[in-house]
Structure 1
């Protein structure tokens, strides 16, 4: 039954949150408007960036030094379908630039800011109303938790599975793990979930790692047969209420129902995504760098949830380009020994150096050969997508990307890089969880 703890506490706790006082309830939610409850259930789960109540020793142990902002650091909206056969989990990046809902009794015009700032202004109720305002969805239940609660939940579940094809080290969060699949304790999982300064950097990369962590834990718990009956579900819900705050409308029976729903779902019926972003560095005086949601694609996402439809495979949310690039061509410097091919690659924003002046007078037979630095296989795949049929050859780690055009015909395709697709496109949990963990 621990499935409920992970399905909610971890979903909520994937990073940082501070009220320290046992089971409490935030004020009842008022003014919710939008989606009819007959179209499923929406749960808003947040974590608050605050160090209130943590001793200096706890801060060092959890690696959460510095000052908190008394704002939401993580925000996830969970949609459970009406037929209880699908869960859609949407991460709302904390730097999203939105218009807040008005506080109760306010007569001033609504102001705009990062979505994480709504909590500081009006705590949980204003956070809920702001999410409802910008998504058009009705929030049925609200939960929040803290650093130590997240750590304890992971430890109680026996650890968290994470996997990486490269070593991950982030001094800010304290994360330091080698390549491979690992079973982390609560402290290690917290560091993994909070890391922002590793590949891929920033909030979208961090959010995807949080989603991957959650998917792996859910997969592992399913394999253990967790949440097998109502009695165990009720016990776990009671344990959850010791470390998670809820609104006054959310009680033990609601958590049992939500937990049992999550417990019955196979990985292929749990969807994870991040709100599509149009501008990743929208500068606002007095606010700083913010994220602007993609108007059409984010609207399509909320419309799909409102209509109780799956979000995976919805091309209105995630358009499918003719040739998709998994990494950004602008970050790939390429030397090309053919002027025509060099010009064509520039159209896809590769950073191209034309070396045709030193090209051999007699070209080798066959398709182009791409020589790439060992360790940059993802970038090599992006370049190969633009040159279909080319041969890949790994060079030294400090070598350059070189394209040697052969005597055969060359096709150059325009590739499209979409950061939303690369880092936050809708996927099901079976595309995120890890293989069998190792210690």
Structure 2
């Protein structure tokens, strides 16, 4: 009966021609903040239940599962369906769970822990209520999948593009890919989105890769016409439902509405971000290392979504420092042959070693020179931001230090700002996060039957 109802509802919407208009208006729901739009919670579950030994080996998930959410993404589709915001909630976020009815009735306190633990306590319903509690947003639809479901979903949708500017290898997830863009199957995509022991390590780097893969998958489906109209989108939604579970408020017609709207968006109208973090290694007894959200910036993020506003370009969510850098100065070992410059860089947060005794008796003419080993370009760029007149000079077989040789010209030392949120999870648009197209496989050679 439920399938018949869904089919008739979808058919009526398509025949009436009002699917993109009246249906969208009727589905807008007010959030606690008074804004409008549609909020979809998408989660991936870390569970080995029901997996055979062979499946665990193939998926490279041989460890112990936590029966918790490994991926949490909140998708906000604006009321006018002209913008989508995809926000990742890192799995180690330290939050207060929504109280279960029995505890609340007894007057007991709500428990706190990593946000991924809400699923272990109360499955999808508690996960939804907890996300609603900590964001102030109402979740309209819920989608859930596990390891095999994710693999099957990517395979059924024709694979995915993954990319990296340097080789990535992680024994924990089984990821091992060279630099560049690669078209991969569901198994390879799973390894890519699960990797945590690569640079940058931990949750933020991992969720940025997840966002990149979702962004590219959406772009490819749009380019191939899989979301070009209600009929094609319905076919894609049915394919997705083979391996993705939904809550009882989410019908095929809802997925078609959302998917069709996403397929009409330009890349610059898709926003991707991670909740801003204040503490990256907050230790909690009995819980372990957690992430604590930046209270003011995360509140600004949820307020923007509640009011149906863009999240990119909002300095309340992502402040814009005068001189931002992408790597942490505290992790950059620098040798400087001038005591004044050395002290200025030390105050700027760099790990400085004073090397004046090795300075030449006559300074070379010109600005300072930064010497570094090949492959240290990102750190060298951070140091150059603090020394804007410096020249960069890669040197083969150079050691782990970056050397600053001060010349005859006066040296300006600028204050740089490293914000890990900016480097790994700042709000960006889909066109800036797009992977380059992977090379096409060579055409099969023609053979002769003679």
TM-score, normalised on structure 2? 0.88
In the other structure, the counterpart of 1:144 is: 144
In the other structure, the counterpart of 1:434 is: 435
In the other structure, the counterpart of 2:73 is: 76
Q: Offset at 1:236?
A: 2.0
In the alignment, is the contact (CA less than 8 A) between 1:33 and 1:138 conserved in 2? yes
Alignment of 1:192-207 (within 5 A): 192-207=192-207
Structure-2 change in CA distance of 1:273 and 1:397 (3 Å): farther
Q: Offset at 1:35?
A: 4.3
In the other structure, the counterpart of 1:425 is: 426
Alignment of 1:22-421 (within 5 A): 34-36=32-34, 39-106=36-103, 107=106, 108-399=108-399, 400-421=401-422
**Matched position secondary structure for 1:234:** helix
Moved more, 390-399 or 108-117: 390-399
Q: Offset at 1:33?
A: 6.6
In the alignment, is the contact (CA less than 8 A) between 2:163 and 2:180 conserved in 1? yes
Q: Offset at 1:100?
A: 0.7
Cα distance between partner residues in 1 of 2:242 and 2:173: 26
Instruction: Answer with 1 or 2: which has the greater Rg.
Output: 2
Q: Offset at 1:41?
A: 0.6
Q: Offset at 1:105?
A: 2.8
TM-score, normalised on structure 1? 0.90
**Matched position secondary structure for 1:74:** strand
In the alignment, is the contact (CA less than 8 A) between 1:280 and 1:291 conserved in 2? yes
In the alignment, is the contact (CA less than 8 A) between 1:35 and 1:138 conserved in 2? no
Moved more, 155-164 or 193-202: 155-164
Cα distance between partner residues in 1 of 2:63 and 2:77: 36
In the alignment, is the contact (CA less than 8 A) between 2:152 and 2:243 conserved in 1? no
Moved more, 391-400 or 73-82: 391-400
In the alignment, is the contact (CA less than 8 A) between 2:372 and 2:398 conserved in 1? no
Q: Deviations over 1:177-224 (max 9, x none)?
A: 111211111111111111111111111010011111111222222222
Q: Deviations over 1:98-148 (max 9, x none)?
A: 111111232221111111111111111111111111111111111101111
In the alignment, is the contact (CA less than 8 A) between 2:44 and 2:71 conserved in 1? yes
In the other structure, the counterpart of 2:26 is: none
Cα distance between partner residues in 1 of 2:253 and 2:155: 25
**Matched position secondary structure for 1:75:** strand
**Matched position secondary structure for 2:308:** coil
Q: Deviations over 1:284-343 (max 9, x none)?
A: 111111110001100110011111111111100000111111100011100000011001
Cα distance between partner residues in 1 of 2:205 and 2:73: 15
In the alignment, is the contact (CA less than 8 A) between 1:375 and 1:397 conserved in 2? no
Cα distance between partner residues in 1 of 2:280 and 2:229: 45
Q: Offset at 1:76?
A: 0.6
Structure-2 change in CA distance of 1:232 and 1:39 (3 Å): same
Gaps of at least 5 residues in structure 2 are 1-29, 442-450
Cα distance between partner residues in 2 of 1:235 and 1:387: 56
Count of aligned positions: 407
In the alignment, is the contact (CA less than 8 A) between 1:100 and 1:130 conserved in 2? yes
Cα distance between partner residues in 2 of 1:261 and 1:103: 35
In the alignment, is the contact (CA less than 8 A) between 2:371 and 2:392 conserved in 1? yes
Cα distance between partner residues in 1 of 2:429 and 2:389: 31
In the other structure, the counterpart of 2:13 is: none
Gaps of at least 5 residues in structure 1 are 1-31
**Matched position secondary structure for 1:173:** coil
Cα distance between partner residues in 2 of 1:61 and 1:397: 39
Structure-2 change in CA distance of 1:263 and 1:33 (3 Å): closer
**Matched position secondary structure for 2:301:** helix
CA RMSD between the two structures: 1.3
Cα distance between partner residues in 1 of 2:396 and 2:131: 49
Cα distance between partner residues in 1 of 2:243 and 2:39: 21
**Matched position secondary structure for 1:76:** strand
Q: Deviations over 1:368-410 (max 9, x none)?
A: 1000111011001000000002100001244231000010111
Structure-2 change in CA distance of 1:346 and 1:311 (3 Å): same
